[in-house]
Chain A
């Protein structure tokens, strides 16, 4: 009986375990935001491990790098009494603070819509927007605006043909992380695709943290806002006093 169960599970697991597995590495799995943080590069590389010879057909790779997500409010201006004023707003349930996609080919050629939907890979799919108020007819325009604004700030990007795949086995892609990075856990996903379907998925987390002075100041401002406020005032008063004393010395 035991044997039967084992065979049953092995048979079941067989196709899932796929013959092709991702073995991957990151140039760094931890990024420290220091006072002089000026963006960072990340190299994501790896290989496809196979038990059998390379199957026929072509293989593609999509790599995504996703920052911590949060609800965002997108506002739209309209002209009221001659002034441009924020009038409409849509709450987007969850949008990553950073999202980069790199592929080996043209996005729509290498993955089907259903797979994109299931794994939330493309930029619009990675943003979750459930409902907009009834008063707003064109809610998708707000999501598009969010993407457009973040693309302009290099926070969202789709780089087609940016993953280099050698001999159907080795792959690598470079990601540029901008200087205006939010701290949190960044999720890396590597998808192996055949016939527009995902055959293997590998995930790893990169930790982005403020460190040193940045960490200390941020924590203080959140945990002890009163002490932080007083510190700001003491620094300002000392600087003002120091300046006045310094000027007097210089004039002598």
Chain B
């Protein structure tokens, strides 16, 4: 069944979109990330123009994070105060990101920037996660306790604030910076930034793991919503038809993913996620390094 997308102006198979949404939903349910970092490149692969893929991907992230946060609120694992501070940084970052995106679009280097950003961050985060999860896997076999670093450079900065849910008393500067950085990436790459936010919160801010996912999703909702709105407003590149099909597929997939998550061990899950992230990075790096079949391309948005 073909569907004509009004904004992307291409016709795509509805089942392919349901399938894509479903796969991303499964991953989202399994790993607790928005899934934007995987949906945007998948949309490139099936021929959606990059600007539409980025903006519409952000819209899908809003839906999956809303769903996730509601579940976490019930379990009281959302640090709303920390989320708000991260959000303040995220908003500023998102606005700068949109500006950067439009600037690079005009320069004709948007594809390169998005791809480089993907390769760089997916590669680094994937490699770090793989290393960490393999070590955790080995350690869990030996059943040795994990020690968390309590006092880092972060704790010496001014403007301290109490974050009760996380049990932290730290400066607001690091969360603001983390939020800002993730916000820029969210706008440029069309991702919520969960896969960056989660490790940053654990390793840089020192938050307890149980509140990290919910808090990350909480602030991702607003950053992704802001990104979606700005793209719709300035670039008119959000395709509602496309978003709808992705969201519907994602909703069903998330349920399956959540069920699967109960049957798999946490370390195995992290290894799988790391491998997945690395393979996406590898594919994109391959495209940049190997001579393309056609050196010429027609600029997207040449008509607008």
Contact = CB atoms under 8 A, between A and B. Distances in A.
A133 interface: no
B50 to A, nearest CB: 12
A228 interface: yes
A231 B108 contact: no
A98 to B, nearest CB: 12
Contacts, number: 194
Contact of A149 (B244, B297, B303): B297
B232 to A, nearest CB: 3
Given A35-B241, A74-B297, A243-B251, A97 B303 contact: yes
Interface string B264-295: 00000000000000000000000111111011
Interface in A48-80: 70-79
Contacts of B298: 72-75, 146, 149-150
Interface in B185-244: 225, 228-234, 236, 238, 240-241, 243-244
Contacts of A239: 63, 66-67, 247-248, 251
Contacts of A233: 59, 62, 225, 228-229
Contact of A36 (B3, B231, B292, B299): B3
Nearest to B14: A36
A179 B292 contact: no
Interface centre among B67, B230, B238, B296 (most CB of A within 10 A): B296
Secondary structure class of chain B's binding surface, majority of residues: helix
Nearest to B108: A86
Contact of B67 (A82, A86, A180, A240): A240
B302 interface: yes
Contacts of B9: 180, 182
A103 B287 CA distance: 40
A70 B303 contact: yes
Contact of B59 (A35, A149, A232): A232
Nearest to A237: B66
Contacts of B247: 235-236, 239
Contacts of A72: 298-299, 302-303
Interface size class of A (residues with CB under 8 A): 35 or more
Given A180-B11, A236-B63, A237-B66, A243 B254 contact: yes
B228 A149 contact: no
Interface stretch (A4-12, A111-119, A120-128, A216-224): A216-224
Nearest to B255: A247
B4 interface: yes
Contacts of A149: 294, 296-298
Interface of B: 1-4, 6-7, 9-11, 59-60, 62-68, 70-71, 108-109, 111-112, 116, 225, 228-234, 236, 238, 240-241, 243-244, 247-248, 251, 254-255, 258, 287-292, 294-299, 302-303
Interface of A: 33-39, 70-79, 82-86, 89, 97, 141-142, 145-146, 148-150, 179-180, 182, 210, 213-215, 217-218, 221-222, 225-226, 228-233, 235-237, 239-244, 246-247, 250
18 contacts: A34-B4, A36-B1, A37-B4, A73-B302, A76-B297, A83-B288, A145-B294, A145-B295, A145-B296, A180-B9, A217-B7, A217-B240, A228-B232, A228-B236, A229-B233, A239-B248, A239-B251, A250-B255
